[in-house]
Structure 1
Amino acid sequence: MNRAIFRAFPLLLSANTSNRLRHCVRAMSEVEKAREAALHKDVQANDTIFGKIIRKEIPAQILFEDDEVLAFRDVSPQAPTHFLVIPKRRINMLENAEEGDGALLGKLMLTAAKVAKQEKLADGYRVVVNNGKDGCQSVFHIHLHVLGGRQLNWPPG
């Protein structure tokens, strides 16, 4: 489905229905991205887009950085405020995290809370981890999505 359909039939779709259809179209492309990424998850090594951001090979709007974690704005925000929190050391998927990764995974959550406060999300926010193909993980470097700035709907999926 493309944008021409939304322009061709503007009166047939309510604003809410139109927004939901746009979300479905966008979600389908995210599903396709996740399926494609899953085919290459083991060969990506440190050459994911996040590895390039960590190494400063490509730009990102960085919100927080220390020796272990990095937080930056999502390039395709799904809410008024949408940022990612990643470990600088790559863990490709949640199930591949080891016992020794517990402190780092906890630090991701604490960093999410710190940046959410900095971004003035006192009314609330959502923290999401997409894991694996069916979880819509399109970059195989574990990361938290933090979304806020408006009332979020439930259920999300």
Structure 2
Amino acid sequence: MTTTDPNCLFCKIVAGQIPSKKVYEDEQLLVFHDIHPWAPVHVLLIPKLHIASMAEVGPEHAALLGHMTALVPRLMRELGVTNGFRTVVNTGPDGGQEVYHLHMHAMGGPRPWLKG
């Protein structure tokens, strides 16, 4: 596994080659607003390490996934989501994955949402 993929959209966003509306960044993760939101608040949490999908996650990624998951409640509060939220990780073609770089959707805000 490589740390980046030069053809990956999300690796290009991490590298600053494609702009994003950042919400949060640290040494492991970048979080930004989805350009096609399904909810009033819809952000993507992506690891800076290129992992193509959840199907490629191994025990060595446990801390990274824990960090992603534990960060969501804080970010949702900071973004004004007060009545619950949804987290989704699409995996592979049958799971609806469109960008092959592991990412977690965090969505919240008043219902009804347009999609979902």
TM-score (norm 1): 0.66
Greater strand share, structure number: 2
Could you say which residue in structure 2 is the equivalent of 1:125? 85
Which residues of structure 2 form unaligned runs of 5+? none
Residues 130-145 of structure 1 correspond to what in structure 2 (within 5 A)? 130-145=90-105
Q: 2:13 aligns with which of 35, 38, 53?
A: 53
Q: Summarize deviations over 1:71-97 as a string: whole Å, max 9, x none.
A: 100001111111100110011111211
User: CA-atom RMSD, angstroms?
Assistant: 1.6
Does the residue aligned with 1:112 lie in a helix, a strand or coil? Answer: helix
Q: Which amino acid aligns with 2:25?
A: E
Runs of 4+ aligned structure 1 residues displaced above 6 Å come to none
**Conservation of the 8 A alpha-carbon contact between 2:30 and 2:47:** yes
Could you say which residue in structure 1 is the equivalent of 2:34? 74
Distance 2:66 2:7 in 1: 24
For the pair 1:64 / 2:30, whether they are aligned, the reply is no
Which residues of structure 1 form unaligned runs of 5+? 1-43
Distance 2:54 2:26 in 1: 22
Q: Summarize deviations over 1:108-130 as a string: whole Å, max 9, x none.
A: 11222221111111211100001
Does the residue aligned with 1:114 lie in a helix, a strand or coil? Answer: helix
Greater helix share, structure number: 1
Identity %: 34
Distance 1:51 1:112 in 2: 21
Does the residue aligned with 1:122 lie in a helix, a strand or coil? Answer: coil
Q: Which amino acid aligns with 1:144?
A: M
Residues 81-120 of structure 1 correspond to what in structure 2 (within 5 A)? 81-120=41-80
**Conservation of the 8 A alpha-carbon contact between 2:82 and 2:109:** no
Q: Which amino acid aligns with 1:74?
A: D
**Conservation of the 8 A alpha-carbon contact between 1:128 and 1:146:** yes
Distance 1:152 1:67 in 2: 35
Aligned residue-pair number? 111
Q: 1:133 to 1:64 in 2, by over 3 A?
A: same
TM-score (norm 2): 0.89
